[in-house]
Amino acid sequence: MSAPFIEEHLRALRLPTMLNQYKRLAQGMEERITYLGDLAALEMEKRHENGVRKRIVTAKFPVIKTLESFDFSQQPALPRRQFSDLLDSHFIEQRQNVIFIGPTGVGKTHLLSVIGVAACTNGHRVLFTTAAELLMSLITAKREDRLKQRLAAIDRYAFVIIDELGYIPFEREATNLLYQVISSRYERGSVGITTNLAFPDWTQVFPDDTAASAVVDRLVHHAVIFELTGDSYRLRSRKKGGNPPKG
């Protein structure tokens, strides 16, 4: 391994003494430098694996979904290249949102989970939660006078996935809290949404047109939006005896 790669690894591993002294201690013996480089590379790889595993666990995905297990033949209109572009997680660095719209059981959660796992692999902190779970936690935090801390904890995630928005209506208190989450992340952090409602129908979730419009405006301003169609995978798989993807 060349010296620049060794030095890059030692810096990333935060080993300043080794970085400053390895050439002197190797005394020009190339095999020692190669050996040190191999060790540093292995340590980097192991730390990366551990970091990915920890981020995936912390994200709280209900099930780990893979790209290979998604049946794209059931979504022929889905722009595959646009979807694949999201797997490098650059959209997070650009503070963009990702929204999947469609009926129950067509794979929205599956695809958004794939994007979330890729984000964990690429070094980003991710939170997966259903809309109901998120809002219940916020209401509880508010009543226990720790809402500020809860909102701050959510802000520390680079990518917040909110699953199943629109499946049940919420009271004004809950929707006001959801508005706070989305507003606080506007142009500061990425949000992922799965919903069974087209944007004009978000008034079924929010208590008035103004609140619905404000949330939609902030979400779609910098967003990649996918619309899925078709029948539920669950119903088709039940008839075939298979295990369908969620969403």
The percent of residues in the chain predicted with pLDDT above 90, rounded, is: 60
Question: pLDDT confidence of 66, banded at 50, 70, 90?
Answer: very high
Give the pLDDT mean for 74-96: 96
Whether residues 14 and 75 share a domain: the answer is no
Whether residues 48 and 148 share a domain: the answer is no
Tokens of residue 208, six digits? 């008035």
CA pair distance 189, 161, nearest whole angstrom = 11
Within a domain: 222: yes
Question: pLDDT confidence of 96, banded at 50, 70, 90?
Answer: very high
Whether residues 162 and 226 share a domain: the answer is yes
Within a domain: 82: yes
pTM for the model: 0.82
Q: What is the pLDDT of residues 144-173, one digit of tens each?
A: 999 999 999 999 999 999 999 988 777 888
Segments forming the whole domain that contains residue 194: 60-240
One-character DSSP codes across 112-157: HHHHHHHHHHTT--EEEEEHHHHHHHHHHHHHTT-HHHHHHHHHT-
Within a domain: 246: no
CA pair distance 194, 213, nearest whole angstrom = 17
Whether residues 98 and 30 share a domain: the answer is no
Whether residues 235 and 149 share a domain: the answer is yes
Whether residues 155 and 113 share a domain: the answer is yes
Within a domain: 34: yes
Give the pLDDT mean for 74-92: 96
Whether residues 67 and 12 share a domain: the answer is no
Whether residues 129 and 195 share a domain: the answer is yes
Whether residues 32 and 68 share a domain: the answer is no
Is the pLDDT at 231 greater than 90, yes or no?
Answer: no
pLDDT of residue 238: 54
Name the domain count of the chain.
Answer: 2
- Looking at residue 73, which CATH number applies to its domain? 3.40.50.300
Tokens of residue 97, six digits? 């949102």
pLDDT of residue 187: 92
Within a domain: 96: yes
